[in-house]
Chain A
Amino acid sequence: MEISDSSSRILAGLLEARTGQQLTMNRRWRLETALSSLMRERRIASIDELITILVMGKEPSLAGRVVEALLNNETYFFRDRAPFDLIARAALPQLQQRHASSKRIKIWSAGCSTGQEVYSLAMLFAEEPLKWAGWTIDILGTDVSDAVVGRARSGTYSQFEVQRGLGIAQMIKWFEETPDGWRAVEGLRKTVRFQVHNLLEAPPHPGDFDIVLCRNVLLYLNAETREKAFERLASAMAPGGWLMLGAGETVIGQTRKLTADKDARGLYVLTSNAEQADRRVA
């Protein structure tokens, strides 16, 4: 079925207003598929009928569900691998020294989807129990979508999901078979927590996070919204903390607040005030 331009504009507008995400062409062509299970569940016969209900505001919860259905939640364990090696190699040894007395490390995964990124980080610590004995590791995953946060919290994955990105030894070490799927073991779950949060709003704990990950989330934001999102991510970082983006994403030319870490390619640090002033003049 053809979706009229006006309908697809309304859906795109709703998505962008709620999340900053622009509807890519690729998605625009698949609106029907993306929305089909929601429409079936609510017994809505056509996109036009859906739009009518949305516009008339008859079912307030529906808009949220539509937005969730339009978001791209693609993720898998240790996505791209190298970033996790970089964190283990470049960031964690420094944090171990920096926080030797408080023995606390805080990490935020913004736009965590169903949680694979968060559990991958948890595995980095869990794989070295001696090194991190006595430490409090707090890994927070947030996402604008209620549905994915719920799934992340359950820590339960289908057979297809659980083996995407994980080696078999890792899988059987950190996941157990349950009637609902493969569930992350207690040892992993105790270091992670999840909450619903929109990146267009103030960060959960300002100035507190040693590492902030925001990978494959900001790609489809318009330039202005993206700059604001970078500012919010920067304001969540502890002094000396790092930001990590997805493969192919960068802060360069997008915000003054963040600079590439000279010692660790792929990580970004807060720009010092002096440097920020310099750049403004330049």
Chain B
Amino acid sequence: MKTCLIVDDSKVIRKVARHILETLEFSVEEAGDGKEALERCEHAMPDVVLLDWNMPVMSGMEFLKLLRQRGHSDQPKVVFCTTENDMAHIRAALEAGADEYVMKPFDRETLHIKLQLVGVA
């Protein structure tokens, strides 16, 4: 079973994403901000991270940059999953090392295909 870490400060969003991911047979972990997410990754690297942009304590971008800096060989795939939907944000995310980008709202189908595209589903 592949593992997915959902990083989002909204409990509701985490719940919805968890539900979709569990139907896709992922084992799911949650974090409410970038800092907590980084700690979880230190402890055990997931296969994929579903990452929100705007969060208190540490934003999605800061988290991604720090994660990629660590240069672990077991780097997870990172899918930005966010309401920041303009080209500038998308490009910035890709430059910082995101593998995919999903704009909210999305459905199960869309997320499934994105996870297939990054090779974890």
**Which residues of A line the B interface, CB within 8 A?**
76, 81, 159-160, 163-165, 167-169, 172, 177
Contact = CB atoms under 8 A, between A and B. Distances in A.
A160 B105 contact: yes
Contacts of B113: 81, 164-165
Contacts of B100: 167-168
Interface stretch (B18-26, B45-53, B84-92): B84-92
Contacts of B116: 81
B6 to A, nearest CB: 19
Contacts of B63: none
B109 A76 contact: yes
B85 A159 contact: yes
Contacts of A76: 109
Nearest to B79: A168
6 contacts: A76-B109, A81-B116, A160-B107, A168-B90, A169-B94, A177-B87
Contact of B110 (A81, A164, A172): A164
B26 to A, nearest CB: 19
A27 to B, nearest CB: 20
Interface string B79-121: 0000001110011001000001111011101100110110000
A163 B103 contact: yes
A147 B107 CA distance: 24
A167 B117 contact: yes
Interface of B: 85-87, 90-91, 94, 100-103, 105-107, 109-110, 113-114, 116-117
A163 B79 CA distance: 13
Given A81-B116, A163-B103, A164-B107, 6 more contacts: A76-B109, A159-B103, A160-B110, A164-B113, A168-B94, A168-B101
Contacts of B90: 168, 172
Contacts of B105: 160
A84 to B, nearest CB: 13
A20 B110 CA distance: 31
Given A159-B85, A159-B103, A177-B86, A164 B109 contact: yes
Nearest to A172: B90
A163 B91 contact: no
Contacts of A177: 86-87
A177 B86 CA distance: 8
A172 B114 CA distance: 15
B106 A163 contact: yes
Q: When A and B form their complex, which 5 residue pairs have the shortest distance between CB atoms, in order from nearest?
A: A168-B101, A167-B117, A164-B110, A159-B103, A168-B100
B87 A163 contact: no
Contacts of A160: 105-107, 110
Contacts of A172: 87, 90-91
Nearest to A176: B87
